[in-house]
Amino acid sequence: MKAETSRYALIAITLHWVMAALLLFMIWLGWNMDDHEARYQLHKSVGILLLFLTVVRVIWRAMNPPPPLPEEMPAHEKLASHLVHMAFYGLMILLPLAGWLLVSTSKFKVPTVLFGTISWPHLPAPDFLRGDLAHAILENIHSKGAWVLIILLGLHVAGAVKHEIGGEEGVLKKMLPGLFGKVAPPKTARGYLRAFGTAIIAFALIALIPIAGSGPSDAAPAESAPVAEGEADNLSPNWTVNYEQSEIRFTGEYDGAGFTGTFGDWTADIEFHPDDLAGSEALVTVRTATADAGKKLYNDSLKGQEWFDTNTFPEARIRLDNFRETDTGYTADATISLKTELVTVPLDFTLDIDGDIATLNATTVMNRKAFDLGQASDPAGTWVGEDVTVTVTGTASRN
Ligand code: HEM
Ligand code: HEM
């Protein structure tokens, strides 16, 4: 006899197939992302999206019990089918949570930017989870969990196919939209708003953590950067920078391609006398959190602890002195105070003075190792080139 059970509601059908496709894609991606930084970011983005959809699905299901299985189905098969479904739900929560915990406790402090747009915080994790053993266990849960999912999928599909072939109308077709067979439509589905609303609020609150400034969890206690020697000197600025027309730009190599960026907020006090180079001096203060390298992922990385660590060291300071004339222009000693490092590099520049307007073009190459930048995740310069070229261009007017 044919059991006229009702179908799943459209929302359950949509979530089922979209999530099934995304889960399979995620497993493929997980196995094929070594040495592809962009794929890691995509994996994390889709994984967090799946966690979001799981929350929606679980809340919605609690308000909309699934349609019953065919009456003639043996009790042990019903139980098996139920257990597989519950195990699926367990994995849909465990897998992304384990992945999120993995990246949150990794010694590579790579930020997560969902779909290149939303900065996603790390989970606050106790110290014992950061050890090698705990990390290996987490990795195993994540990777073996994917295999458990594959095995369950085998059982799940076998079950669905068996009942379909067995002519039990209403198992596979329950999970297909109404076009595919005469399975009665469901009773009115309810709770869309509650399911989506709760999930959106919960995830929006998590996404707000970095904006509120309390994450990421690895913020170090504040300590001040060393003061560049001579910073307290009394400088009598005789030039005013035209910031609109001036920029401090950094360029380097990332993953075989170039990257470039500028600092949005910096100030310079300049005392420069072409006829009294010994009495010339400049102090530049750069707000490191305003570094903009064009992509949110790069900018979030730069703010992180192992790069500029902008929470602890909001400013970098550069003192220019010991000016000398060269064949092509000038050179000066640039003493850069960044994080806990104090490094002096030569800065070659040209200066064209036309009446009261001076046009500057300066370049220097810095080794990021000397500034302890990116030394935990990429000490050998595999991804991010060791040399970073800094150029300063712009105009200033005489006071
Ligand atoms: C349901 C969602 C997910 C599935 C099905 C999934 C699946 C996988 C698979 C199959 C691998 C390869 C494991 C191996 O090396 O054998 C992997 C690796 C990885 N996944 Fe996921 N993942 C999910 C969610 C996430 C999330 C949300 C994150 C982080 C926010 C994440 C972070 C990672 C990382 C960092 C690795 C590399 C681990 C390593 O190098 O050992 N995953 N994932
Ligand atoms: C990774 C892939 C998949 C996952 C995680 C998954 C998960 C689930 C879950 C959790 C349910 C129970 C829904 C509920 O009652 O709340 C379900 C039902 C169902 N799934 Fe899948 N599924 C996947 C792939 C498939 C595939 C490929 C098929 C096609 C053969 C399929 C056919 C069905 C059918 C027919 C039902 C309804 C059966 C019933 O009520 O017993 N699923 N699935």
Query: pLDDT digits over 217-255, tens only?
Result: 454 444 445 554 555 567 889 999 999 999 999 999 887
Q: How far is CA 137 from the centre of its chain?
A: 23
302's tokens: 């730069």
DSSP letter at 382 equals S
Ligand 1 neighbourhood includes 139 CB (under 6 angstroms): yes
Residues 332, 333, 337: CA angle, nearest 5 degrees:
135
Q: What is the pLDDT of residue 104?
A: 93
Q: What is the pLDDT of residue 217?
A: 43
Cβ atoms of 107 and 186 within 8 Å: the answer is: no
Per-residue pLDDT reduced to its tens digit, 147-186: 999 999 999 999 888 877 776 666 788 888 877 767 777 7
pTM for the model stands at 0.81
Ligand 1 neighbourhood includes 52 CB (under 6 angstroms): no
Low-confidence residues of the chain: pLDDT under 70: 1-5, 167-170, 181, 212-233
Q: What is the pLDDT of residue 2?
A: 45
- Is the four-CA dihedral 155, 161, 164, 166 of positive or negative sign? negative
Phi, psi of 301 (to 5 degrees): -60, -45
Q: What is the pLDDT of residue 3?
A: 41
Helical H runs in the chain?
Answer: 10-31, 37-63, 75-105, 132-165, 192-212, 296-303
Residues 6 or more apart whose Cβ sits within 8 Å of residue 26: 43, 46, 47, 50
Q: What is the pLDDT of residue 169?
A: 61
Determine the atom of ligand 1 nearest the C-alpha atom of 47: 27
DSSP letter at 70 equals P
Ligand 1 neighbourhood includes 28 CB (under 6 angstroms): no
296's tokens: 């949110």
Cα–Cα distance for residue pair 311/305, rounded to 1 Å: 8
- Fold of the domain spanning 239-398: Lipocalin (2.40.128)
Determine the atom of ligand 1 nearest the C-alpha atom of 106: 35
Q: What is the pLDDT of residue 212?
A: 67
Residues 6 or more apart whose Cβ sits within 8 Å of residue 384: 252, 253, 254, 368, 374, 378
Longest dimension (CA), the chain: 104
Of the residues 26, 59, 61, 85, which should be mutated to test ligand 2's pocket, given the most ligand atoms within 8 Å of the CB?
A: 85
Determine the atom of ligand 1 nearest the C-alpha atom of 27: 10
Ligand 1 neighbourhood includes 317 CB (under 6 angstroms): no
Q: Where are the domains of the chain?
A: 10-212, 239-398
Residues 6 or more apart whose Cβ sits within 8 Å of residue 103: 44, 110, 112, 122
Q: Residue 315's closest CA among 263, 242, 246?
A: 263
Binding-site residues, ligand 2, Cβ < 6 A: 16, 20, 23-24, 61, 66, 69, 81, 85, 88-89, 153, 156-157, 160, 171-172, 174-175
| CA atoms in the 13 A half-sphere facing the CB of 62 | 8
Amino acid at 279: G
Cβ atoms of 372 and 340 within 8 Å: the answer is: yes
